[in-house]
Chain A
Amino acid sequence: MKVRVKCFAWAKEVTGEDEIDLEVPESATVADLRVSLAERFPVFSGRMESIAVSVNQEFAGEGTPVDVGDELALIPPISGGCA
């Protein structure tokens, strides 16, 4: 199945897109999403551990299911506020 994933900040810059479509297996999880992401955009491979994934606007663990209707996003390390 194909899922749509929002890209922000660094992730938006390296993909060149606000949103990308990724092909993932049926009953996929966040971990599967990462596999598809790294295949399509190898630049993520080197720093996958620093990229969080959100599912329906909540940070999601690796086992969280992802489905076609979910709002998915790639969240690079955040730096809101100010020091």
Chain B
Amino acid sequence: MICRITDTPIDMDELADSLDSPELGGLCTFVGKVRNHSAGQGVTHLEYHAYPAMAEKKMRQVAEEIEERFGVTHLAIAHRVGTLAIGEVAVGIAAASAHRDAAFKACRYAIDRIKQIVPIWKKEYGEDGVAWVEGCAVDAETAEPSKAQKFRV
């Protein structure tokens, strides 16, 4: 199980290989990359910031939720911090299970849940200026997401 915040490039092969085991027939990966546009505006680069200790703890919580929901125990999550150029990998997820269905579901759940409860922030630099992209105001009791917005700096 990998749950990692890193300031160096994410190696998807390493994440996938960490889940290599003879009983695992389905391996699903998700790669989140830096996109060159946001809300109709050009983006030049991003900065990712994290609260590393809590972020890794919350990633482990996501992994526990995935085990409870889908029975998937083979999961690897890595999230990058620092300045990232267009096309760089911001987040990598690999999930493996005996059969494909659970692996797909685990992978999808992981990325959606990371965006809700893992304390990582994105600062967007673009032709429209600089903004904190604020996806999810965390309600302490429910951790429910709110509508995405931008907060100009």
Give Cα A79 to B150, complex, Å.
10
Tell me whether A82 and B53 are in contact (CB under 8 A).
Answer: no
What is the CA–CA distance of A57 and B58 in the complex, to the nearest angstrom?
8
A49-B32 contact, Cβ under 8 Å, with A9-B49, A78-B118, A81-B90: no
B45 interface residue, CB < 8 Å from A? no
B132 x A81 contact (CB < 8 A): no
Q: CB distance A82 to B34 under 8 Å?
A: yes
B133 within 8 A of A: yes
Interface residues of A in 30-58 (CB under 8 A from B): 30, 49-54, 57
Contact string against A for B residues 117-140, beta-carbon threshold 8 Å, 1 for contact and 0 otherwise: 111111100000000111111111
Identify A79's interface contact among B33, B135, B140, CB under 8 A.
B135
What's the Cα separation between A8 and B138 when bound, in Å?
Answer: 14
Q: Is B141 an interface residue (CB 8 A)?
A: yes
B119-A54 in contact (CB<8A): yes
**B114 part of interface (Cβ distance < 8 Å):** yes
Contact present for B146 and A80 (CB under 8 Å): no
Q: Contact at A79–B134, with CB atoms within 8 Å? A: yes
Asked whether A22 is an interface residue with its Cβ less than 8 Å from the other chain, the reply is no
Chain B: CB-nearest residue to A59: B140
Which residues on A are within 8 Å of B, measured CB to CB? 6, 8-10, 12-13, 30, 49-54, 57, 59-62, 64, 73, 75-83
Binding site for A on B (CB under 8 A): 32-35, 48-51, 53-55, 57, 79, 90-91, 111-112, 114-123, 132-141, 143, 146, 148-149, 151, 153
List 8 A-B residue pairs with CB atoms under 8 Å apart, sorted by A's residue number: A30-B140, A57-B57, A61-B140, A76-B121, A77-B136, A79-B134, A79-B136, A80-B48
